[in-house]
């Protein structure tokens, strides 16, 4: 069974981010398919590597559009990556696979909220500034204290 289904409601109308998010959903579902098997690690590592690149892409856009280096969107990325590191360590170093299995529904619940709130705010900021990710800019002076979302000062 799929952990998460891609629907148009998840699309943010930004081709790079939508492709990346579709890949994230596919990799999460690939992990869900093997989570209860003896070796879910390759699928986990594929998701982990993709997530590092996914977040790095968004961080780069934030830096180029004037987000403060410390903002709630970046902090949420850091927390997720830290969780992935910890879960991997539990599995590989201690033979505890349950946290890795529990991660699948947790990520399936987390992702749509993150995309709708924080990634959507980033895309909105990019559109407002006329920022084209295919025409990278030098890093901007930080002008926004938060993530650009309405819930963040």
Interface ranges with Fe ion (CB under 5 A): 58, 119
- DSSP characters over 72-126: HHHHHHHHHHHHHHHHHHHHHHH---HHHHHHHHHHHHHHHHHIIIIIHHHHHHH
C-beta of 91 vs 149, nearer to Fe ion: 149
DSSP bridge pairs for 67: 144
- Provide the minimum distance between the beta carbon of 62 and Fe ion in the complex, in angstroms, as a whole number: 9
C-beta of 31 vs 121, nearer to Fe ion: 121
**Consecutive H or E run containing 50:** helix 41-64
- Provide the minimum distance between the beta carbon of 85 and Fe ion in the complex, in angstroms, as a whole number: 17
For residues 88 and 95, is the Cβ–Cβ distance under 8 A?
A: no
C-beta of 91 vs 121, nearer to Fe ion: 121
- Provide the minimum distance between the beta carbon of 149 and Fe ion in the complex, in angstroms, as a whole number: 11
C-beta of 78 vs 96, nearer to Fe ion: 78
For residues 63 and 139, is the Cβ–Cβ distance under 8 A?
A: yes
Q: Which residue is nearest to Fe ion (CB)?
A: 119
- Provide the minimum distance between the beta carbon of 77 and Fe ion in the complex, in angstroms, as a whole number: 6
């Amino acid at each position: 069974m799929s952990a998460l289904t891609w629907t148009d409601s998840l699309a943010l109308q930004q081709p790079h981010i939508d492709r990346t998010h579709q890949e994230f959903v596919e990799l999460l579902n690939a992990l869900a398919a093997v989570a209860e098997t003896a070796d879910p690690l390759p699928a986990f590592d594929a998701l982990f590597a993709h997530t590092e690149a996914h977040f790095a892409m968004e961080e780069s856009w934030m830096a180029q559009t004037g987000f403060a280096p410390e903002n709630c969107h970046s902090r949420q990325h850091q927390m997720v990556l830290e969780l992935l590191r910890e879960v991997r360590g539990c599995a590989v170093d201690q033979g505890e696979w349950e946290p890795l299995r529990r991660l699948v529904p947790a990520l399936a619940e987390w992702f749509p909220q993150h995309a709708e709130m924080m990634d959507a705010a980033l895309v909105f900021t990019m559109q407002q500034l006329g920022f084209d990710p295919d025409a990278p800019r030098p890093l901007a002076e930080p002008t926004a204290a938060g993530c650009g979302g309405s819930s963040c000062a």
